Amino acid sequence: MKIDLDDLEQTYNKCLTTGNVKEKNEIDIELIKSLKNIAEKGLEFIKEKSKNIKKNSTDWTFVFRDYYESLRGLIETYLLFDKIIAENHQCKNAYICLKHPELDLDWNFLETARLKRNAINYRGQLLKYEDWNKLKLQFELHINKLKKEIEKKLKEF
């Protein structure tokens, strides 16, 4: 099944015009550290739990969802360095992809993951191991890149 993805620049412009991307007054380093820690602890937890999941189980749905939440948390954390908050996941993704091309984050992957997460949360879709396995590497690449860049930025403070 092919998913129609929104255009990055159109999405970003829509987020701006609807007020879904806002500036904060200051950079909150303690909040950044806390959100980063929560994302990392969530990953550790689900990695350990996933070792015991059978390949034919639909519990891979929760592995996907926890990875998604960790990735989303790291994106939110990174945006705080720019003093940016966004009202929804799509706007956070659009901002980071458009304003930080040096991170090399894949808009299509982020949108696909967001829509899949929405299908799980709002339409009750369950995932099998094969579904998760198709996305695992991209999750790990994006998460590792963000963790590394957040660490670099934290050293500047």
DSSP 50-84: HTT--TT-TTHHHHHHHHHHHHHHHHHHHHHHTTE
- For residue 6, what pLDDT is reported? 84
Q: Kindly tell me the burial class for residue 65, based on how many C-beta atoms sit within 10 Å of its own C-beta (0-12, 13-18, 19 or more).
A: middle
Given a cut of 70, the residues of the chain with pLDDT beneath it are 1-3
Map residue 21 onto helix, strand or coil: strand
What's the pLDDT at 1?
Answer: 45
What's the whole-number average pLDDT of the chain?
Answer: 94
Q: Which of 70, 137, 149, 155 is nearest to 102 (CA)?
A: 149
Q: What is the pLDDT of residue 3?
A: 59
Q: How far apart are CA 75 and CA 55, in angstroms?
A: 29
- pLDDT tens readout for residues 77-96: 999 999 999 999 999 999 99
